[in-house]
Amino acid sequence: MLNSSNLRCAEIQKGAAQFPVQSQNLISDNISVVEGETATISCRVKNNDDSVIQLLNPNRQTIYFKDVRPLKDARFQLVNFSDNELRVSLSNVSLSDEGRYVCQLYTDPPQEAYADISVLIPPGNPIIESREDIVREGNETEITCTSMGSKPAATIKWMKGDKELQGKSKVEATYDRMFTVTSWLRFTVTKEDDGVPVVCIVDHPAVKDFQAQKYLEVQYKPEVTIKVEFPQGLIREGENLELTCQAKGKPQPHQVNWVRVDDDVPSHAVITGSDLFIENLNKSYNGTYRCVASNSVGETYADYILYVRDALTTTPKPTTTTTTISATTFPPDIIQDSQAGPEAQRLDHAVIGGVVAVVVFAMLCLLIVLGRYFARHKGTYFTHEAKGADDAADADTAIINAEGGHNNSDEKKEYYI
């Protein structure tokens, strides 16, 4: 039977671990060895006085007396014999070789030192199993890992990708002093877990990097996106629209539908598989268009909001008229600003009105000046012909007295009518 000391010794990795056990001048070491390999037992003496050293097995049978082997077991071989040491090797160690070996020094009284051999038995290949092969997104899964036939009991840890998870383990001892360890891991899966390895790692002093893994297969609802094929940018009346519904899931979506939220899809719209085509758009088509994709796990959708704007209009080029106002030349900055908003247009009208008023006022002033000029020169001819008429008693006398007048009454007379 293994006691607690044996189990602690069994935790030591392959090779001889040193735990000195001393009885006066005699020393030996505890040993941990993997089944099938070789263990070396050393009996050492300090300050030996030519006393005889011998090695006994757990049944107190003499293996070696000095350099002589009385026991007929060829697996025991002498490695070294001197006054200070008896060293013996045991090859092809089995579980039956486990126990306490005695180094004995023939003194008065006799002295003994003990070497406990612990045999490590590595576990078999771990077995990993899952409750179901395919798991749906959002459901809980359970994975089991079993390590059988080891000594001492192995420990199991879990990794999902690069993240360590905590499982729950149970240790069972078998009739042949072996141990079976079973560990359960439970967690809720997501779609990101699809294809991720879950690894069961077995830790035991007799083996390194002993593991088994299983790749998760997760089913999840479709992921839906809508791509605008054309037009690019703002959408205006008269243009055509094409939308493509892109759906990806596991399993692959078996159905993709286009609907219009709170209304019907335009009657002339063309739906081809996952594509929606609408030509000659107008504002009555504004609304939310929805792509719905479904598989055996469920259905999801994505929305596209259509907003149709007014069609672009071309601004007519200004025409030249024969009116006086159109003949007036304005600075380029005034003309450019006249194409701005209502505030700028009102300002342009005020400027044009002011210019017209100045022109009209200048023309009126010119007419007044010309009128006064002509009024001053009216009657000049009468004044020159009738000089001296102011001092005459009658018209005849005035004519006679006028400058350049005629003295003879027979001369021709002129009258200004």
Q: Which position has the higher pLDDT, 398 or 182?
A: 182
CA 184 to chain centre: 33
- Per-residue pLDDT, 348: 66
Which among 273, 302, 307 has a CA at the least distance from the CA of 290?
302
Q: Which position has the higher pLDDT, 307 or 385?
A: 307
Residue with tokens 């045991």: 90
Over residues 300-331, the pLDDT tens digits come to 999 999 999 998 876 655 554 443 333 333 34
User: If you average pLDDT over residues 360-366, what whole number do you get?
Assistant: 89
- Per-residue pLDDT, 75: 95
Q: Cα–Cα distances in Å, from 137 out to 142, 193, 218, 221, 335?
A: 14, 9, 6, 8, 68
Query: Across the beta sheet with 241-250, what order do the strands follow?
Result: 135-136, 218-230, 241-250, 275-278, 270-272
- 3 state DSSP class of 393: coil
- Per-residue pLDDT, 17: 40
pLDDT > 70? residue 56: yes
- 251 preceded by a cis bond (ω within 30 of 0): yes
Which among 260, 262, 222 has a CA at the least distance from the CA of 243?
260
Distance CA 231, CA 84 (A): 97
- Per-residue pLDDT, 373: 80
pLDDT > 60? residue 398: no
pLDDT > 80? residue 206: yes
- Per-residue pLDDT, 341: 45
Helix ranges (DSSP H) in 284-341: 324-327, 332-337
User: If you average pLDDT over residues 223-248, what whole number do you get?
Assistant: 92
Mean pLDDT of the chain: 81
User: If you average pLDDT over residues 79-99, what whole number do you get?
Assistant: 93
Q: What are residue 96's phi and psi, to 5 degrees?
A: -70, -15
Give Cβ neighbours of residue 143 (< 8 Å, ≥ 6 apart): 128, 129, 130, 131, 158, 184, 185, 198, 200, 214
- Per-residue pLDDT, 214: 94
User: If you average pLDDT over residues 188-192, what whole number do you get?
Assistant: 93
- Per-residue pLDDT, 372: 81
Q: Which position has the higher pLDDT, 319 or 276?
A: 276
Give strand ranges (E) for 46-196: 53-56, 62-65, 76-81, 85-90, 99-105, 111-120, 127-130, 135-136, 140-150, 155-160, 163-165, 168-173, 179-188
Distance CA 260, CA 244 (A): 15
pLDDT > 50? residue 333: no
Q: Among 155-164, 198-207, 333-342, which is the least confidently predicted range?
A: 333-342
Tokens encoding 109: 């009284």
User: If you average pLDDT over residues 249-261, what whole number do you get?
Assistant: 92
Over residues 141-154, the pLDDT tens digits come to 999 999 999 999 99
- Per-residue pLDDT, 189: 94
Counting residues of the chain whose pLDDT is more than 70, the rounded percentage is 76
Residue with tokens 């007044």: 368
Taking the complete model, does pTM exceed 0.75, yes or no? no
Q: Cα–Cα distances in Å, from 278 out to 41, 76, 164, 240, 305?
A: 91, 93, 53, 6, 14
User: If you average pLDDT over residues 109-138, what whole number do you get?
Assistant: 93
- 3 state DSSP class of 292: strand
CA-derived radius of gyration, the chain = 61
- Per-residue pLDDT, 350: 77
Coarse DSSP helix, strand, coil percentages of the chain, rounded to the nearest 5 percent: 20, 40, 40
Count CB neighbours of 218 within 10 A. 21
Tokens encoding 267: 């009657």
